[in-house]
């Protein structure tokens, strides 16, 4: 028998899978509108704590700013606020499948890795992405996550020559931010980025921005090789050829630590293939509803939408519309809200004192190093995390 079987038939259950920026933002948006006498909410996440991804690259390089304490926010009663206070439940588990209702709009159940199921009337999918190994954190416990962090710090400290492979899609901007964090901690250690395309990032961003980003990195003594690559089969963190690598352009590289930064993919393996694109993204309507399941919503990195994937979009642009459309579906509000996209913009940190930003307004505004540092790089905006998670140490 399910440990989370509905016992109060008078209440409808909203289940949110994923406690990242998007999932928590949906919970917070619903917290002002949901009647606790009629609705309950269950949040499911594979980890016991919320990890703020923007801080993780600094976190895995050094213990600067005590980020372990500042950015590891456990889920709990504090997660559910306002009208959801005392009316929300957190479940730590990985989702292995969904049993959808046999009719459109009918409730179903979420299958967990412990064999239990969670029944839902409304389901929100916000499981994000699966990231490359440096920030592919364990799931079972906080201790396991802390051990992962310590191992990565030791790995970087031990290395004498570091090669970072990748640098195309904006999801992979971690390669640039990681390079900047490494340079802060290891001022003289050789660090190389190799990227197959002519310019860093991708064509969403103008050449002037992509070129400035490369120059800024090179200005800190980071070698950037564009229009070049090493054979994918050669890229292994655990099996580096003793003679090093010869790139496709004939350059000799002899790193003792190789960090692949590609391989980010949507975390959707628990969903049936007919709901996904060939690349694994969830097919949605502009209301964030699944076409054949109007009581199921999806947002964030996992959705099939032509835009750059970013946590801020899930939190500030997707989540409010998802919450509004849930209320419309429940006949608690009028007027569904369709998503038409959002302005492209980002800030790539370069250590604590620099960075480079871009906002696609007017002629395309580039945000310089000092202002980028003031906005993001210096603090990584960790003070704002509590507003999302409800946790205060």
Nearest one of 349, 323, 348 to 336, comparing CA atoms: 323
The string of pLDDT tens digits covering residues 61-107 is 999 899 988 999 999 999 999 999 988 999 999 999 999 988 887 89
Average the pLDDT over 52-67 and give the result. Answer: 91
How far is 5 from 106, CA to CA, in rounded Å? Answer: 16
Residue 7 reports pLDDT greater than 60:
no
Q: What are the residue ranges spanned by the domains of the chain?
A: 12-132+265-329, 133-263+343-389
How far is 139 from 56, CA to CA, in rounded Å? Answer: 15
Structure tokens at 277: 């694109």
What pLDDT is recorded for position 1?
Answer: 37
Residue 256 reports pLDDT greater than 70:
yes
pTM for the predicted model, two decimal places: 0.94
Which pLDDT band holds residue 316 (cuts at 50, 70, 90)?
A: very high
How far is 183 from 228, CA to CA, in rounded Å? Answer: 22
How far is 344 from 98, CA to CA, in rounded Å? Answer: 33
The string of pLDDT tens digits covering residues 135-170 is 889 998 999 999 999 999 999 999 999 999 886 554
CB atoms within 10 A of CB 198: 10
Residue 248 and residue 229 in contact, taking contact as beta carbons nearer than 8 Å: yes
| DSSP track, 148-183 | HHHHHHHHHHH-SSEEEE---SGGGGHHHHHHHHHH
Largest separation between any pair of C-alpha atoms in the chain = 69
Distances in whole angstroms, Cα of residue 25 to Cα of each of 56, 121, 265, 335, 380: 20, 19, 22, 20, 19
Which pLDDT band holds residue 230 (cuts at 50, 70, 90)?
A: confident
How far is 175 from 117, CA to CA, in rounded Å? Answer: 38
The string of pLDDT tens digits covering residues 168-180 is 554 556 789 999 9
For 219-331, where are the alpha helices, taking DSSP H only? Answer: 311-313, 319-329
How far is 192 from 309, CA to CA, in rounded Å? Answer: 25
How far is 88 from 123, CA to CA, in rounded Å? Answer: 14
Whole-number average pLDDT of the chain: 91
Distances in whole angstroms, Cα of residue 256 to Cα of each of 140, 176, 180, 228: 30, 19, 19, 19
Contacts of 245 (CB under 8 A, 6+ apart): 163, 230, 234, 252, 253, 254, 255
Are 12-132+265-329 and 133-263+343-389 the same fold in CATH? yes
| DSSP track, 191-225 | EEEEESSSSSS-TTS-HHHHHHHHHHHHTTT-EEE
Q: Are strands 122-125 and 117-120 parallel, antiparallel or unpaired?
A: unpaired
The string of pLDDT tens digits covering residues 167-212 is 655 455 678 999 999 999 999 999 999 998 999 988 899 999 999 9
Residue 357 and residue 367 in contact, taking contact as beta carbons nearer than 8 Å: yes
Angle (nearest 5°) at CA 330 between 324 and 334: 55
Residue 123 reports pLDDT greater than 60:
yes
Architecture of the domain spanning 133-263+343-389: 3-Layer(bba) Sandwich (3.50)
Architecture of the domain spanning 12-132+265-329: 3-Layer(bba) Sandwich (3.50)
Answer with the residue of higher pLDDT: 227 or 131: 227
For the chain, where are the alpha helices, taking DSSP H only? Answer: 21-30, 53-59, 67-71, 142-158, 174-185, 207-218, 311-313, 319-329, 369-372, 385-389
Average the pLDDT over 25-52 and give the result. Answer: 94
Residue 65 and residue 11 in contact, taking contact as beta carbons nearer than 8 Å: no
């Amino acid at each position: 028998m399910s440990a989370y079987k509905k016992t109060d038939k008078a209440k409808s259950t909203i289940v949110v899978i994923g406690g990242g920026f998007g999932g928590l933002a949906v919970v917070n948006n619903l917290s002002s509108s949901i009647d606790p006498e009629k609705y309950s909410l269950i949040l499911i996440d594979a980890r016991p704590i919320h990890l703020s991804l923007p801080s993780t690259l600094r976190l895995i390089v050094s213990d600067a700013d005590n980020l372990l304490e500042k950015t590891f926010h456990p889920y709990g009663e504090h997660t559910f606020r306002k009208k959801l206070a005392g009316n929300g439940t957190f479940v730590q588990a990985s989702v292995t499948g969904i049993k959808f209702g046999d009719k459109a709009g009918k409730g179903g159940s979420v299958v967990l890795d412990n064999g239990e199921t969670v029944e839902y009337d409304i389901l929100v999918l916000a499981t994000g992405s699966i990231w490359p190994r440096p920030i592919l954190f364990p799931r079972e416990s906080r201790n396991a996550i802390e051990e992962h962090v310590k191992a990565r710090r030791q790995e970087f400290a031990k290395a004498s020559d570091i090669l970072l492979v990748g640098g195309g899609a904006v999801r992979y901007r971690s390669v640039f931010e990681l390079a900047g964090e490494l340079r802060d901690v290891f001022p003289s250690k050789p660090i190389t980025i190799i990227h197959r395309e002519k310019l860093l990032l991708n064509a969403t961003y103008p050449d002037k921005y992509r070129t400035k980003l490369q120059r800024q990195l090179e200005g800190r003594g980071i070698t950037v090789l564009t229009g070049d690559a090493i054979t994918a089969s050669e890229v292994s963190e655990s099996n580096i050829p003793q003679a090093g690598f010869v790139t496709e352009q004939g350059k000799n590289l002899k790193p003792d630590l190789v960090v692949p930064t590609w391989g980010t993919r949507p975390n959707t393996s628990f969903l049936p293939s007919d709901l996904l694109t060939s690349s694994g993204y969830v097919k949605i309507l502009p209301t964030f509803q699944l076409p054949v399941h109007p009581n199921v919503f999806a947002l964030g990195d996992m959705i099939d939408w032509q835009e750059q994937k970013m946590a801020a979009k899930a939190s500030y642009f997707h989540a409010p519309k998802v919450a509004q459309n849930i209320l419309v579906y429940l006949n608690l509000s009028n007027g569904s809200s369709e998503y038409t996209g959002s302005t492209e913009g980002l800030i790539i940190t370069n250590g604590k004192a620099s960075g480079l930003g871009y906002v696609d307004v007017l002629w395309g505004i580039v945000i310089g190093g000092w202002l980028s540092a003031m906005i993001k790089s210096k603090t990584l905006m960790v003070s704002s995390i509590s507003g999302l998670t409800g946790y205060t140490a």
